[in-house]
Structure 1
Amino acid sequence: MSEHLTQIPSTMLEAELDTLFSVSQILSRSLDLPETLREVLQVIGEGCGLGLGLVALLSDENGNELFISAAHGLDMEAASRIRYLRGEGVLGLVLERGRSVILDEVRREKRFLDRLGAYSPDKPFIAVPIRIGSELVGVLASQPDTCEDGLLDERAHFQEMVANLIGQSVRLARQVAKEKRDILDERDDLRRTVRGQYGFSSIVGRSEPMKHVFDQLRQVAKWNTTVLIRGETGTGKELIASAIHYNSPRSASPFVKLNCAALPENLLESELFGHEKGAFTGAVSQRKGRFEQADGGTLFLDEIGEVSPAFQAKLLRILQEGELERVGGSRTLKVDVRVIAATHRDLELAVEEGKFREDLYYRLNVMPIYVPALRDRIEDIPDIARFLVGKIAKLQGRELGITDSALRLLSQHHWPGNVRELENCLERAAVMCDNSSIDRDLVLMCGIEERLQAPRPKLRPVSIPAPMDLQDENMDEREKVIAALEQAGWVQAKAARLLGMTPRQIAYRIQTLNITVRQI
């Protein structure tokens, strides 16, 4: 070994060591494999006289075809179109034999194809394998700048060392590419799962009021319009908001939620707008608020009717201008956020009483969606109950069903807590269920019968106005429905009879005409 080294000029050894150091630096600083390989070829060409270099890699892990991934001193555009099969040309010969091929002169080798027409026929050519462990993954080839000078084997040995370093980078690039593919596949799977969980199909209902809601959802999901979801507590307003987001063009971006009633006002501002470090006691670092987190996506503000008038003014600015300042900061930040708000409050009454800003009300109420109470869509209860039982069964990891008698009993209940109360009832029944089916007795054990038999609260006296002529042509439809409700003591079934409608039809009119039902 020492005798071999003494035959190599010291200047050549120094150049090779310096070049190897530069190659290792290049390979360690970037994951852009083609660009990294191009730099490596440039360094070995300039540092060690190995010009007209190229790296050809297998098209895949089990492939038999080489493609040129990087080149130096060659026409890369032309080179990128060239392929070498196993055994084809000198590069294919390296792939076939699995060892280096060293030519004293290019013109002496009939298998040298010179498809690029760039190589000198009287100069040597070196092609060495690139390996990952024992697996051959490519070829590193170059043409020395000088004719054979007795140092060709040394140049080939140096090129093999460079190829070994390249092999480690190819291994890392493959690993990163695989992990990226796995992450993208997982992301796509999650998106499909989320769309299935929060799509329109997850909202159960075939009644007329729900058909109207579905029509609105399909339309509003296409656009960036602000939506205000109205409805009693427990009707599924958050589910409606999720369906809008995950069926909109923003579905790939964040869906951020905040219950405005869950936080005091001083924390609500920080939670929504974020804060700078040191803005208040405990603010040990900068923090992005929900608006910034939802940038490019959707922000769902539940119980928007609970925020104070002072905070409403701050909220109005960001809805109008798309701008905010973090608590304790002075820099104005721009955000692109679609806002979906929800409330069970009568915002119109709150505006009249001065508890809710009128300008904020109109800013939020661009597209109102009214979610009907469960008692106003009794015909949906069996389907909803079956859906919820399936959901509970999946969580409990067992087969579970519900009998028709149990469904009939559930359909008789008033459900003041709406779908949330129904789900709680079914979950209690499932916990007590020893077999695979929730029957009527289990539903009775959840207290449904007691609620049906519980004494009704005494009604406070109300003054019934003098009957109005419901056939008066000067009255519009909204006035007629309100007049009928007044005459019927706000009992929808009686009002429907007065107007010659079905209970379902008048419930639909009340919703679409934005009539606030009085509880008497």
Structure 2
Amino acid sequence: MTHPSPSISPVSDAAKLLLLRDIAEIMRAPGNVRDALETVLERIRQTLPVLRGSVTLISPATGEIRIEASCGLKESERLRGRYARGEGVTGRVIQTGQAMCVTDVSEEPLFLNRTGSRDLQNEAISFLCVPIRLAGQSVGALSVDRLQADSPTLQEEMDLLHIVTALLGHAAFEGQRFMDDAGVKASTLADMFHTSSPVMRHVLEQMKHVAHAGTTVFLQGESGSGKEVAARAIHAASPRADGPFISFNCAALPENLVESEMFGHERGAFTGANALRKGRFELADGGTLFLDEVGELSLPVQAKLLRVLQERSFERLGGTQTLHVDVRIIAATNRDLEAMVEEGTFRRDLFYRLNVFPIRLPALRERKDDILPLASRFAQRFARANGREEARLSLAVMDMLQRYDWPGNVRELENVMERAVLLMEREDIILPQHLPLSLHSEYRAAQAESPEHCCVLPAHPATLPQRVAELERSCIVEALAASGGHMGKAAQALGLTERIMGLRMRKYNLRYQTFRSKTVGLLTGKSKA
């Protein structure tokens, strides 16, 4: 049940003119395109009753639509803002070039809430989305969430946003040119995965071999192990890199909608089909289609998918015209399809069609060498997103991360780091109390079994002396690691004499020989490997 929005005074013409003047000046000024777009969004939020805003752009390399600038969104929410053409309100606006005004998002079936930033049950939100056009082509969209209002008020603001998008056209085009297309410009697959794990290196070799072929790839692995990242990497390293990469989660929609999403539908094909809609196979023509959670498809949809894989042709729902597509298929699942075949819940012939080149992605607990570098990378990214210069891992946190089993794999690690950075205080260092209870319980068990191999983890909440000692020990460890165990260089970096450095090392039971190993570089996230 949505709550009624408070009374809001209408925006004056003078305020609107001042907004447009400021936007024109922002767009004329030299500088980073994304920064300029985010400044524009903040300026809009100062003038209109806007809760959140975003600029989505079409990737010129993949055809994917994604949020490139935002206000009111966390970094993790912004990264979730990805769409195919025609998908959701944003994808529909960009595909048709027609603006949309959704008075109540909780009642609009097209509204996906892909970022997960809205509480649709308790927030009374209207959504305005206007295409950004240049030379007659849609290159992106400007969208805002605002408190619910009457139709005349929303139309006034839509008119204003149309003028704003006219000012953003050239900047959006420049933004397209420099979009970070999920590692498309990366020189190697290893760079995209940031891995030094031997087991993961073997996986990357498999990916490298299959990337340049048109072979169907079957990715297997636990939830959160990086199957979509692997699919994007294979696409980016393939001759199809300039074509679209279209992703479809087979478990995300009810069965009656899956077929329409995959193959599209004609106008009038069913109740509510008011216009022709292209399916994912059609959108992926010339590129790659990633079918995630393929084990969740029903047997009737499996039969239709098998026909497309065999003939590379299909008809839209309600249509008679046979369409032919050139699409590479990458399928993924966290289920045991061979067992499902024996049970009769997955077609044997479809399994053989998909299982041409199987690749198993290891769980994070099988690639422990990657845990700390990944954690450091996530922490730095979330720190920058929250206006901090850096976020370092304390020694106890490093030990806790390596001892945890990570049932949610890389996705869980990313979420843990985001939470830790938000709880992190002035020291810019992540401490044990910033980690969730699930990590503490497993670490306590490890302490009980082998206390000599665990860092001292104080009771929670930690006292000030305990936290100061933890910070001091972490700084000494980082300095020793950076210097390769050279006490003199480490002491100089910390502003200490070698005598004081030696006393501190004895206090914390640290030996310089320990830091002559290459593995210490990984503990600090500064390894050159």
Q: TM-score normalised to the size of structure 2?
A: 0.49
Aligned to 1:437: 428
CA distance in 1, matches of 2:384, 2:303: 45
> After the TM superposition, which residues 397-416 of structure 1 pair with which residues of structure 2 at under 5 Å, given as runs?
397-399=387-389, 400-416=391-407
Which of 238, 252, 258 pairs up with 1:262?
Answer: 252
2:302 alignment counterpart:
312
Separation (CA, whole Å) in 1 of partners of 2:321 and 2:426: 62
**Contact 2:315/2:323 (<8 A) preserved:** yes
Q: Name 1:190's counterpart in structure 2.
A: 179
Corresponding residue for residue 22 of structure 2: none
Stretch of structure 1 that moved more, 209-218 or 269-278: 209-218
Question: 1:276 is aligned with what amino acid?
Answer: E
1:236 aligns with 2:212: no
Paired residues in the alignment total 277
Distance 1:247 1:188 in 2: 19
* CA distance 1:401–1:357, shift in 2 (3 Å): same
Letter in 1 for 2:397: A
Per-residue CA deviations over 1:114-147 (Å, capped at 9, x if unaligned) read xxxxxxxxxxxxxxxxxxxxxxxxxxxxxxxxxx
User: Does residue 329 in structure 1 map to residue 319 in structure 2?
Assistant: yes
The alignment status of 1:276 with 2:266, answered yes or no, reads yes
Q: CA deviation at 1:336?
A: 0.6
Superposed counterparts of 1:442-453, under 5 Å: 442-453=433-444
Q: Distance in 2 between matches of 1:338 and 1:219?
A: 15
CA contact (8 A) 1:304 1:343 kept: yes
- Which of 262, 275, 282 is matched with 1:292 structurally? 282
Following the alignment from structure 2 to structure 1, what is the Cα–Cα distance between the partners of residues 445 and 351? 39
> Of the two, which has the highest radius of gyration?
1
2:375 maps to 1:363: no
- Distance in 2, Cα, partners of 1:220 & 1:397: 40
* Distance of 1:382 and 1:199 partners within structure 2: 21
The answer as to whether partners of 2:419 and 2:435 remain within 8 angstroms in 1 is no
Q: Percent identity?
A: 49
* In 1, Cα distance between equivalents of 2:418 and 2:277: 38
- Give deviations 1:295-333, integer Å, cap 9, x for gaps: 101111100011011110100011111001000111100
Distance 1:231 1:324 in 2: 30
Kept in 2, the 8 Å contact 1:230–1:343? The answer is yes
Who is 1:417 aligned against? 408
Give the equivalent residue in structure 2 for 1:248.
238
1:325-372 CA distance string (max 9 Å, x none): 000111100011111111000011011111111111111111111100
TM-score with structure 1 setting the length: 0.50
How many Å apart are 1:207 and its aligned residue? 1.6
Seen in structure 2, the aligned counterparts of structure 1 residues 309 and 327 have a Cα distance that, compared at 3 Å, is: same
Q: Residues of 1 paired with 2:170 and 2:408: CA distance?
A: 45
In the alignment, does 2:327 pair up with 1:340?
Answer: no
Question: For 1:381-415, what per-residue CA distance to the aligned partner results, in whole angstroms no more than 9, with x for missing partners?
Answer: 11111121122123223222222331111000011
Quote the residue 1:500 is aligned against: none
The 2-side partners of 1:284 and 1:192 are apart by 33
**Cα deviations across residues 71-128 of structure 1 (Å, max 9, x unaligned)?**
xxxxxxxxxxxxxxxxxxxxxxxxxxxxxxxxxxxxxxxxxxxxxxxxxxxxxxxxxx
Task: Tell me by how many angstroms 1:202 deviates.
Answer: 2.6
Contact 1:409 1:440 in 2 (8 A): no
Given that residues 235 and 288 in structure 2 are in contact (C-alpha distance below 8 angstroms), is that contact kept between their aligned partners in structure 1?
yes
- Contact 1:198 1:243 survives alignment (8 Å): no
Task: Write the letter of the residue equivalent to 1:421.
Answer: E
Partner of 1:393: 383
Residue 432 of structure 2 aligns with an amino acid whose one-letter code is D
* 2:265/2:317 contact within 8 Å kept: yes
Aligned to 2:194: 204
1:404 maps to a residue whose letter is L
Letter in 1 for 2:281: F
Q: Secondary structure, in 3 states, of the residue corresponding to 2:405?
A: coil
Query: Which residue of 367, 373, 393 corresponds with 1:383?
Result: 373
Question: What letter is aligned with 2:402?
Answer: S
* Aligned residues of 2:365 and 2:409 also touching (Cα < 8 A): yes
State how far apart, in whole Å, the 2-side matches of 1:258 and 1:221 are.
Answer: 20
The 1:265–1:428 alpha-carbon spacing in structure 2 relative to 1, beyond 3 Å, is same
Against the structure 1 CA distance between its residues 445 and 326, is the aligned structure 2 distance closer, same or farther, given a 3 Å change threshold?
Answer: closer
- Contact map agreement 1:429 1:446 (CA 8 A) in 2: no
Q: How does 1:83-232 map to 2 (within 5 A)?
A: 186-190=175-179, 194-196=183-185, 200=189, 201-232=191-222
* 198 and 341 in structure 1: CA distance in 2 versus 1, 3 angstrom threshold: farther
Deviation larger for 446-455 or 179-188:
179-188
Structure ranking higher on relative contact order (CA contacts 8 Å, 6+ apart) = 2
| Structure 2: runs of 5+ lacking an equivalent | 1-167, 447-529
